Amino acid sequence: MEKNSPRIPSHVAIIMDGNGRWATDRGLPKIAGHIAGADVVDLVTEAASDMGVKCLTLYAFSTENWKRPKAETDALFELLGERLDMKEAKLIENNTRFSAIGKIEDISASAQKKIRRVIASTKDNTGLTLNLALNYGSRLEIVEAARKMAMDVKKGILDMKDIDEDLFSGYLYTSGLPDPDLLIRTSGEFRISNFLLWQISYSEIYVTKKLWPDFTRHDFEEAVAEYQRRERRYGG
């Protein structure tokens, strides 16, 4: 695929599903699936960058994931911190900008500190934006955006007659990012799972039965190729 071709999606979003099932199928603890899944994040990030994708948003931890056992959620954020420590220099070397969306302030202080450090150290990079959705829920995002808009109207900063879709988008966590062109979901599930509900209104959706730890660079390239075969009409 030609890098930066008009048919390369500018923004790809991925629901990375199947880590736990992958581990269970192998008689392993769930954290083993998350570790294997983290390795796939590295190769997909590299593939996206090589293709000329501008933004890659990965659904890493939802607001609903707190229902999981505490030992698992603690291990997940410990793994995130370890990966950020390991990969920070590589992100800088590869000109990749790191960002995160969601209720970051509600996760562990240690993970927050590392997230903010890597955001700061990569903020001037101009290549791919690697955007992690952490403690993220789209309904909550929309409600919070509505609250912020209402408060700005109350303060006189915003006039209600000026509210439109573009203005509303600016109040979302993803403000400044293009809407996803392509949404990929692994593990064969046909659900959105409270992910980017506003932003994926016109996204092409690609579902694969592969569990996330089995997802390869070739699979990512095939998803993009399928996107390129589709005609996007936006209701026209």
Residue 141: inside a domain? no
- Per the structure, the complete domain to which residue 63 belongs is given by 11-136+179-229
Residue 102 falls within a domain, yes or no?
Answer: yes
- Which of 17, 19, 131, 135 is the catalytic position? 17
Confidence at residue 71, expressed as pLDDT on a 0 to 100 scale: 93
Amino acid at residue number 181: D
| Residue 15 within any structural domain of the chain | yes
Domain count, the chain: 1
Query: 21: buried, middle or exposed (CB in 10 Å: 19+, 13-18, 0-12)?
Result: middle
- Sheet containing strand 182-185, edge to edge, reads 97-101, 129-136, 55-62, 11-15, 182-185, 204-207
Does 196 fall in a domain? yes
CATH number for the domain including 118?
3.40.1180.10
Specify the pLDDT at position 231.
Answer: 86
Out of 50, 65, 94, 194, pick the active-site residue.
65
Tens of each residue's pLDDT in the chain, 236 residues: 556 566 899 999 999 999 999 999 999 999 999 999 999 999 999 999 999 999 999 999 999 999 999 999 999 999 999 999 999 999 999 999 999 999 999 999 999 999 999 999 999 999 999 999 999 999 999 999 999 999 999 999 999 999 999 999 999 999 999 999 999 999 999 999 999 999 999 999 999 999 999 999 999 999 999 999 998 877 76
Task: Report if residue 209 sits inside a domain.
Answer: yes
Rounded Cα gap, residues 29 and 23, in angstroms: 6
- Go through the chain and tell me how many residues it has: 236
Domain membership flag for residue 170: no
Residue 234 in any domain: the answer is no
Residue 17 sits at φ, ψ, to 5 deg, of -110, 140
In a domain, 3, yes or no: no
42 is catalytic: no
Neighbours of 28 (CB within 10 A): 13
Is 65 tagged catalytic? yes
Q: Which of 177, 162, 170, 77 is nearest to 131 (CA)?
A: 177
